[in-house]
């Protein structure tokens, strides 16, 4: 089993709902770090993939048809979306892993959404439970907290629905 935890420092624009990650720490028990450079790349790649899932990536279906089948409409993170990331490697030899190692590719994806959602809660006091955590969803929750009437987000247009 692979164990890890992530911490995020971010800011939320309360006028637009935009989330900007300022700093990210990803700590993982990797067993034995056989190739530290490759390990670092796996952590960076896994975190970026997880942040994409958390903040931008969403398959939109309408009557079983994919409404965003290409990268023009399905929003993935790019190099311009990177942020400072500090991997923390914890080595506890795994007797069942090859040479004492554990997997690290996928574990970088797992804690990202909860870490980001909790950091948003710490920043502005709203709890987001649906992914992706789009600016529209964040703004709708901020307005709801302030007592502004909102009936949620239309999943196709990602715009706030009037009541």
Catalytic residue, from 14, 62, 106, 141: name it: 106
Instruction: Cite the beta strand spans of the chain per DSSP E.
Output: 3-12, 19-29, 61-62, 65-66, 85-90
Catalytic annotation present for 62: no
Contact 55, 31 (CB under 8 A): no
Separation CA 132–CA 77 (nearest Å): 12
Q: Find how far residue 133's CA is from the centre of its chain.
A: 8
Q: Which of 123, 161, 119 is nearest to 144 (CA)?
A: 161
Separation CA 32–CA 60 (nearest Å): 40
Q: Active-site positions?
A: 106
């Amino acid at each position: 089993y692979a164990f890890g935890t992530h911490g995020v420092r971010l800011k939320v624009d309360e006028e637009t709902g935009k989330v900007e990650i300022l700093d990210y720490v990803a700590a993982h028990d990797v067993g034995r770090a056989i190739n530290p450079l490759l390990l670092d790349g796996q952590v960076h790649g896994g975190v970026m993939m997880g942040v994409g899932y958390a903040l931008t990536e969403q398959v939109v279906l309408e009557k079983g048809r994919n409404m965003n089948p290409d990268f023009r409409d399905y929003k993935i993170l790019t190099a311009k979306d990177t942020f400072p990331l500090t991997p923390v490697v914890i080595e506890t030899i795994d007797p069942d892993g090859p040479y004492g190692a554990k997997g690290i590719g996928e574990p970088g994806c797992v804690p990202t959404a909860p870490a980001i959602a909790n950091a948003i809660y710490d920043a502005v006091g709203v709890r987001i439970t649906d992914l992706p955590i789009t600016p529209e969803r964040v703004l709708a929750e901020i307005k709801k907290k302030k007592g502004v009437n909102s009936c949620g987000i239309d999943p196709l247009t990602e715009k706030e629905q009037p009541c």
